[in-house]
Amino acid sequence: MTETQFKNMKDLPSKHLLGTGTSLCAGCGGLEALHEIYDILGAKSVFVNAAGCMTLLAVYPFTPFRGSWLYTAMASAPAGAQGIRDALDILLTKGRIAAGEDLETVVLTGDGSAYGMGLSATSGAIERGLDFLYICYDNEGYGNTGQQSSGATPHGARTSTSRGSSGYPGHKKDLFSIWVAHRPTYVATVVGAEPLDLARKIEQAKKLRGPRLILALAPCPTGWDFDPSETAEIGKLAVRTGVWPLKEYRDGKVVHSKIPQRRLPVEDYLKRQGRFAHLFHPQRDEVLLQEIQTKIDIYWANVEG
Amino acid sequence: MKRTLLTGNGAAAWGARLAGVEYLPAFPITPQTEIIETIARWIDFGEMDCRMVTLDSEHSMITAAGAAAVTGVRVFTATSSQGLLYGMEMLYTVAGWRAPFVLVNVSRGLASPITLEPDHNDILAARDSGFLQLHCATCQEVLDCILLAYRLAEDERVRLPVIVNLDGFYLSFTREPVEIPDAESVARFLPPFDPENLGFRAGAPLSEAVAVIGGTPYSYFRYQSHLAALNAVDVFAENAAAFAQAFGRTYQAVEAYHCDDAELVFVMMGSFATKAKEAVDRLREAGEAVGLLRPVLLRPFPAADFRRALSGKKGVIVVDQNLSMGKGGVLHTELASALYGYPGTTPVLVSFIGGLGGRDISAEEFYEMHAVTRQAVSEKRAPAPRLLYTEVELREMKKIQAIARVQGLKEQQT
């Protein structure tokens, strides 16, 4: 990572921009990340939202945002960003608005839209080189409708549409690589529980132009079944067990911003969450646990080379 | 002003060009594509100052169009048929944003079966979306209606998006002489878009289209859109008067042809109404007191104009180029609801369905519809809706089916 104003935790903003008292669940890991992101991104932004949990941030007549907001639909938030960005550029070019009135165009969606329904619109926006920042809060399921499995649900997790003894039979889609395959300006994974790493990545993203993704793991007490007080702990464990690699893509290269020394076994992460309880009770599902661990080991073996 | 031979699609492109459109989100679909290709060529050769972007779908296209319009630029877009339906979620959504822009729909029948030729089921599926609708019968009208549509959409009493509809093939690919007005006159009729309170600006944060909880705020905003749409009846009339003054062409919400002394009146919309006009002329030559009404404005529905025009008439021949499965013609239903219960407006309404998927409606069929309605008037009762189809067609269809069966048998044998 290049030079940063965020050298240690003391450098993080002490004033917070996003308002409180929203209708989101207690302990929402997505909101935790959004608070940290917004503090650095700033209010000179317009958030273009797709249907998901965060749609309920702005409920008439209240909004926690100091900047602007446009709700679109589940599939087309990047197209909304395209329309706003293009219109602002036209207005700036023609001198109808001053340069100081310009805004950062930000797409804000959950994984349901980012990994699934919105993927066509996203791919189009990247291929056109749209100057926008995409923030995905990834709670690994259709959280707002009660945690049904999505394209982001990890293998073996129990969801409200995969309640059997083996949980979700599919595998979490690799959205990071899907973005990277488009050769965008910037892609990074973050988690609210690692605020310094997050701050540096938002700082980077803010300096760049073009399509940029911030993919935030969003531990979800409601959907993942853990106590809201444990959100930060679960987020830290996701990094320390290697489940959620912190990395960024820039200039054609993927770099890991935090390689966990002495990775913890994945079950330290899994056993804290009710959605994986069936892997441990009534008896341990050694086969599935090993399968999950092996996949993580192979990932990191490739990274550490 | 000289007249130029233009297709309906060419006339639509000229309408957008003269309106000084600044932004064109696009997606190709037959029979609309010529519109965006024409504008793209003008942009490429520096004849038009407009930013064009091809989206991944009509759903995205309409999202981008609405988003750009609420950011404060003049937006144009176009689609047809399946594309209009693919974007249907966003038609409702951006109308709720009160995003003033113009979308041209080149009508084409809907799947299934898939076809390229026109009818009005696509555009009528958007009937309740909040978009206003103007329906064209000639290439000149296509150009003119786009100018009228921008003035209507952007009026502070309306602030709603407008669809300008033209029929695929019959208008989209048919050349007619069109008067292209000069840019200065258009600029006087249609000044640059003043977005007033619309727009996302750093110095003036705005939350647009936020969620509501409960029926009270929801109903309030929905009623506002409806009332704004109703305002468009008078605003359209004002604009049409200004248009007539500027360009010498007169438009009315409902065009009346030989209606004053008519006993029976055809009601049709779109380009096929020109066939009805021809039939009216022939029937009048034969001594029949018959006329034609054609709604140019379909949303808002010009109910008062219809009531006025049909007051004291004996029979109405409603020809629907659409089919609401299990009900019948949409225009027939709309008209019945506008006339029912009003004193002095009790003609017999006879419903016909025809022209689906580009099927022609012949002169003989117009005479037959007239005769059937004449009979209904004398019996004081409307017959069940008729689906236009000839014996010749039925024989032709049986032949095609026989071929399909033979082909099927061959497949099985090999």
For chain A, counts of helices (H) and of strands (E): 9, 8
How much is the pLDDT for B197? 85
DSSP secondary structure of B9-42: HHHHHHHHHHTT--EEEE---TTTHHHHHHHHHH
Closest CA to B23 of B51, B61, B53, B65: B51
How much is the pLDDT for B169? 97
Closest CA to A143 of A117, A115, A110: A110
pLDDT band per the 50, 70, 90 thresholds, residue B345: low
How much is the pLDDT for B291? 98
**Class of residue A124 by CB neighbours under 10 A (exposed 0-12, middle 13-18, buried 19+):** buried
User: Between chains, do A82 and B25 touch, taking CB under 8 Å as contact?
Assistant: yes
Closest-CA distance, A171 to chain B, in angstroms, reads 27
- Nearest chain B residue to A102 by CA distance is B202
Counting as low any pLDDT under 70, the low residues of chain A are: 1-2, 305
A128 touches B: beta carbon within 8 Å:
yes
Question: Which residues of A fall within a CB distance of 8 Å from B53?
Answer: 82, 86, 128
Q: How large a percentage of chain B has pLDDT more than 70?
A: 99
DSSP H helical segments within B27-106, as ranges?
A: 33-44, 58-71, 81-86, 88-96
Whether pLDDT at B1 is above 80: no
Domains of chain B: 2-247 (3.40.50.970), 255-392 (3.40.50.920)
Closest-CA distance, A241 to chain B, in angstroms, reads 38
How much is the pLDDT for A2? 64
- Nearest chain B residue to A105 by CA distance is B200
Whether pLDDT at B257 is above 60: yes
Strand, helix or coil for residue A172: coil
Q: Which amino acid is at B251?
A: Y
pLDDT tens, position by position, B278-300: 999 999 999 999 999 999 999 99
User: Between chains, do A58 and B201 touch, taking CB under 8 Å as contact?
Assistant: no
Of B57, B202, B210, Cβ closest to residue A44: B202
Suggest the residue from B208, B213, B218, B222 to mutate for an interface test with chain A (most A CBs closer than 10 A).
Answer: B208
Whether pLDDT at B306 is above 60: yes
Strand, helix or coil for residue B77: strand
A103 touches B: beta carbon within 8 Å:
yes
Closest-CA distance, B86 to chain A, in angstroms, reads 12
A22 touches B: beta carbon within 8 Å:
no
Question: Which residues of B fall within a CB distance of 8 Å from A211?
Answer: none
pLDDT tens, position by position, A173-226: 999 999 999 999 999 999 999 999 999 999 999 999 999 999 999 999 999 999
For the segment B154-167, the average pLDDT, to the nearest whole number, is 98
A48 touches B: beta carbon within 8 Å:
yes
How much is the pLDDT for B209? 96
Of A60, A102, A128, Cβ closest to residue B212: A60
How much is the pLDDT for B412? 79
A300 touches B: beta carbon within 8 Å:
no
Whether pLDDT at B384 is above 70: yes
How much is the pLDDT for A264? 98
User: Between chains, do B67 and A79 touch, taking CB under 8 Å as contact?
Assistant: yes
ipTM of the complex, rounded to two decimals: 0.97
Of A65, A73, A90, Cβ closest to residue B207: A65
For the segment B107-125, the average pLDDT, to the nearest whole number, is 97
Q: Compute the count of residue pairs across chains A and B with CB atoms less than 8 Å apart.
A: 147
User: Between chains, do A71 and B209 touch, taking CB under 8 Å as contact?
Assistant: yes
For the segment B94-101, the average pLDDT, to the nearest whole number, is 98
Suggest the residue from A38, A82, A130 to mutate for an interface test with chain B (most B CBs closer than 10 A).
Answer: A82
A78 touches B: beta carbon within 8 Å:
yes
Domains of chain A: 3-304 (3.40.50.970)
Whether pLDDT at B19 is above 80: yes
What backbone phi and psi angles, to 5 degrees, belong to B265? -135, 125
- Nearest chain A residue to B61 by CA distance is A79
**Class of residue B121 by CB neighbours under 10 A (exposed 0-12, middle 13-18, buried 19+):** buried
pLDDT tens, position by position, B308-340: 999 999 999 999 999 999 999 999 999 999 999
Of A69, A87, A121, Cβ closest to residue B68: A87
DSSP secondary structure of B298-330: EES--HHHHHHHHTT-SEEEEEESS-BTTTB-H
How much is the pLDDT for A263? 97
Of B23, B201, B211, Cβ closest to residue A86: B23
